[in-house]
Amino acid sequence: MTQHPAFDRLAVFAVASLAATSAFALQPTSAVDLAQQGDDPAWAITEGLTTEIGPRPAGSDREAAARKWAVATLRNMGFANVRDEPYQMPVWERGEEKAWLTSPFLPQRLAITALGNSGSTGPEGIEGEVAYFASFDALTAAPDSAVKGKIVFIDHQMEPTQDGSGYGLYGRGRFMGPTVAAQKGAIAIVIRSIGTDNHRNPHAGVTNFAEGVAPIPAGAISNPDADQLVRQRNRAAGPIKLKLILTPKTIGERTSGNVIAEVPGRESAASPVIIACHLDSWDLATGAIDDAAGCGIIAAAAKHVMTAGQPRRTIRLLWAGAEEVGVFGGQAYFDAHGKEKHAVALESDFGADRVWRVDFNLPQSAADLQKRIGLALAPFGVVTGRGKAQGGADVGALIQAGVPAIDLQQDGSRYFDLHHTPDDTLDKIDPVQLRQNVVVWAATLSLLANSSDSELP
């Protein structure tokens, strides 16, 4: 790893500022060590996992290999109680995937990928007239007669936001569009990818058909392909047609697992701080930003806190399995450990770009701790948000059950350019921003892991 002088200057400045706060005087972070040491465990983990294992689909042999790799790596780093906690989960496997615009012009191939849990067209494929909808809401509002026997297309191009808040709005086309289309009698559904790029990369992602709704073939086409469909529609006198070949299948239950590791705290009775990422990835790429980087960030930060001196509370790392296809790892963790007390939960699962905002969801007793964290992070360019921390998917059940949460919000401006595409590869990660994440996480973790029982449960 090359040193990055710009970031080193930032860290030195930050440490000088931090030293002036009482929080820092009490609980030094390892920011100085980080800036001075030549190695970079966050990068090493991200590079290692994406290079040696590559794609890590949930429930696959590759995900199992990633767990082995993770256990060995976390032990090598000096973490305690490193283990693989297995569970069973249903597995859906991608098949062939092809699509063409077939009418009214010469057939043109489109870049498509099946959505997770998509039904199959069979090997011969299906062809049908396109029922166009500008948005998920337009589909919902349409009468069944506008959909029946057709292939639904949902347009609605996602716009980038720094906080990623568009995922909920635009994502409905993927999360719920297939169910609604199936309920109205569509033979298949194709959506414009939930993505902000303009490359010929479709964005994968899971859909969940509602109870009792038989899955129909469901795919996402890339933004340029969606543009092409729209242009053809604008030029066509009559209907336009699509042909689809999507042959995914469900293969039953398989083993997945959560890898857990700990920095043991000085006071074993104090509840642990839990920090999460997920080890699985979509199959189209090597899952660098989603979410090898997250695992790199939390492990590097925990390692720095451990190196700086044993913290009061235990820090527990959860490298969850099977997040992408339905948060099976997060649920398995909750089933096994949900009754244990947790002081606070955090997750890194939004890429590797810089942390720009911190959001809290802490009890009133933690008001001073919250202020100390805000002061500690400000020199790194992190502002305190006004919203309530939501936590990540893998700690979602814990937070739902009342565990306090902090979100170290990463800059999502380009996250949905890459999310779930073939382009989620190591070269997309900026080492300087990755390092900023580690410093911010280390500073936060240090304060949390040394917090008192009167501050956090």
Q: Name the residues that contact a copy of itself, by CB under 8 A.
A: 47, 51-55, 61-62, 65, 105-106, 108-109, 111, 198-201, 223-224, 227-228, 231-232, 235, 285-286, 421-423, 425-428
Q: How far is the CB of 455 from a copy of itself (least distance, A)?
A: 44
- Residue 197 CB, nearest approach to a copy of itself (Å): 9
Least distance (Å) from a copy of itself to the CB of residue 200?
4
- Closest CB to a copy of itself among residues 286, 446: 286
String of b and e for 390-413 (b: at least 16 CB within 10 Å)? Answer: ebbbbbbbbbeeebbbbbbbbbbb
Listed in order, strand segments (DSSP E) in 306-363 are 315-320, 344-347, 355-361
Please return the burial class of 52, using the count of CB atoms within 10 Å of its CB with bins 0-12, 13-18 and 19+.
exposed
CB of 92 to a copy of itself, least distance (A): 19
Q: Do 414 and 356 meet the contact criterion of CB atoms below 8 Å apart?
A: no
If the CB atoms of residues 337 and 428 are measured against a copy of itself, the closer one turns out to be: 428
Q: How far is the CB of 241 from a copy of itself (least distance, A)?
A: 15
410, 356 in Cβ contact below 8 A? yes
323's CB contacts (< 8 A; 6+ apart) are 58, 278, 280, 291, 329, 330, 349, 393, 394
Residue 174 CB contacts under 8 Å (≥ 6 apart), including other chains:
115, 191, 194, 205, 206, 207, 220
Least distance in angstroms from the C-beta of 130 to a copy of itself: 15
Q: Which is nearer to a copy of itself, 61 or 267 (CB)?
A: 61
Indicate the residue among 13 and 105 with the shorter CB distance to a copy of itself. 105
Closer Cβ to a copy of itself, 66 or 443, answer by number: 66
**For a copy of itself, the closer CB: 184 or 203:** 203
Contacts of 9 (CB under 8 A, 6+ apart): none
Nearer to a copy of itself, 12 or 230 (CB): 230
| Biggest distance spanned by C-alpha atoms of the chain | 74
Q: Assign residue 170 a region: left if phi > 0, alpha if psi is -120 to 50, beta otherwise? A: alpha
Tell me how far, at minimum, the Cβ of 71 lies from a copy of itself, in Å: 17
